[in-house]
Amino acid sequence: MRDDLSVLDATGQAELVRSGACTPLELVDAAIERVESLNPRLNAIIHPLFDKARDQARRDPDMAARPFAGVPMGLKDAVAHSAGDPHHLGMRFLRDLGWTEDDDAWLVTRFRDAGLSIIGKTNVPELAFSDTTEPVAYGPTRNPWDPARSPGGSSGGSAAAVASGMVPVAHGNDMGGSIRIPASACGLVGLKPTRARTSLAPSLGELWGPTTHEGVLTRTVRDTAAVLDRIAGSAPGDPYTAPPPARPFLDELGADPGSLRIGLRVELPAPGGEPHSACRAAVERTGQALEDLGHRVDWSAPDALELSLDDALLMFPVFAARELDRWSARTGRVIGEDDVEPATWVMAEIGRSVTAARYLACLDAAQRWSRQAAAWWAAGWDVLVTPTLPEPPPPLGELTGPTGARLVAYTLPWNLSGQPAISLPLHQDHSGLPIGVQLVAVQGREDLLLRLAAQLEQALPWQDRLPPIHASR
């Protein structure tokens, strides 16, 4: 039974508890065994919370009746925090202080209320400012498809934990692609919801301006929909919230999306260029599958993708400077150059040189760009399809420092616009490495993405594809 659990998604594991085939504690214990076996090779989970997870499974009298019935999960060590646990954001500074948080973030409360058991916190680059997960504080996380390669970032620890079968679901957040990039690199489903679909309460209204979105990484579309149903919604005092869905997101699976008007795009957004041939092949294969499903497919994309995002990208050094100031204030210790990785310090120094007026001009540029992009959907298009990444998962050590413009070229635009975007593991390169395909809809239309994703999951199934480093092997 315990070996079989590693290939079941969260929904399947919860069904075992409801049927009486196993208990919540057995789910947790089996996941702990998998972590102890695999984590030394992957370095995905950096803060084990085994005793807490076992205690929750034993003591919660309603656990078996909750939607996820004790299913184990990983919590990314950034943004959302859990009471009494380490919260280090990949920083040596916070690690050396032994920093912990006093309460659960709103999102963590929702995870617990749904019956998810947090068995550990997952690795993250320093301050989540990279598209690879190689922090000095905790060392690199390795991709279970090839341990010499990156699992992506910044939710790379979560992605490696799910892809290897340690847990069926893990928390992630996405400021420029940090859910979708690891999903592509590790062969997973990764949805960046609509802006403010989930809350950053109680500590924050926004983080990194309007770019931060919370969600999860999973192996199946149904898990993504089911978890979103449990974590969606606003908290008191949120500055804004996403429009409510017409019905539960899980109900969208199997619903007929109709004949959609879908645009394909493989060329990199401005300044342009070609992606890896495997990424082009992934979009072409997906386009053919969509045509076979009865959708109207054309090589078209928003004109706004031809515009430069240089002004918007200048906001990110400001975010870095703010994060160092935030943590200096919270800890009561001024963070200096020797306390952070060199690239983080350089980025923050650039941010400190940006005036308030210049920052607002950058925000205006991002909003102007978002309106221009939205005009494409307003003209009658339903979904845009692109690669998630411009290349297969890169080798560890190749990416250093904060996120570069090329690797987030397909993902960052939708953090700026706030539109929902999902990466699906629809292709592999010649060596078997996963290649993700991104679907983007207009704001508030996760329902449409999930309907279409469910169709593609049936047409181009991926559930039987497991990485070489997996708990079932």
* 417 part of the active site: no
The whole-angstrom separation of Cα 413 and Cα 421 is 10
Write the CB contacts of 443 (distance below 8 Å, at least 6 apart in sequence).
Answer: 194, 195, 242, 243, 374, 417, 418, 419, 420
Collapsing DSSP to helix, strand or coil, 440 comes out as strand
> Among residues 6, 154, 158, 370, which one is catalytic?
154
In terms of DSSP H, where are the helices of 293-314? 310-313
| List 6, 150, 164, 178, catalytic entry | 178
User: In this structure, are residues 260 and 452 in contact, taking their beta carbons and an 8 Å threshold?
Assistant: yes
Q: Identify the three-state secondary structure at position 197.
A: coil
184 catalytic residue (yes or no): no
Single-letter residue type at 420: P
Pairing of strands 296-298, 383-387: unpaired
Sign of CA dihedral 128, 179, 462, 384: negative
| Polymer length in residues for the chain | 473
Tokens (6 digits) for 118? 């947090």
Contacts of 157 (CB under 8 A, 6+ apart): 43, 44, 45, 46, 74, 76, 77, 122, 123, 124, 133, 141, 151, 170
Question: Positive or negative CA dihedral for 397, 100, 198, 46?
Answer: positive
What is the spatial order of strands in the sheet that 434-440 belongs to? 45-48, 117-122, 72-76, 169-174, 213-218, 189-192, 421-428, 434-440, 383-387, 261-264, 296-298
Beta bridge partners of residue 421, listed in sequence order: 192, 440
How many whole angstroms separate alpha carbon 463 and alpha carbon 217? 14
Instruction: Supply the DSSP string of 315-373, one letter for each residue.
Output: HHHHHHHHHHHHHHHHHTS---GGGS-HHHHHHHHHHHTS-HHHHHHHHHHHHHHHHHH
Mark whether 52 is an active-site residue.
no
Q: Which two tokens stand for residue 50?
A: 């085994």
**CB of 168 closer than 8 Å to CB of 117:** no
Active-site annotation holder among 76, 82, 117, 121: 76
Contact 444, 203 (CB under 8 A): no
CA distances 222 to 116, 264, 453, Å, are 16, 25, 10
Residues catalogued as catalytic = 76, 154, 178
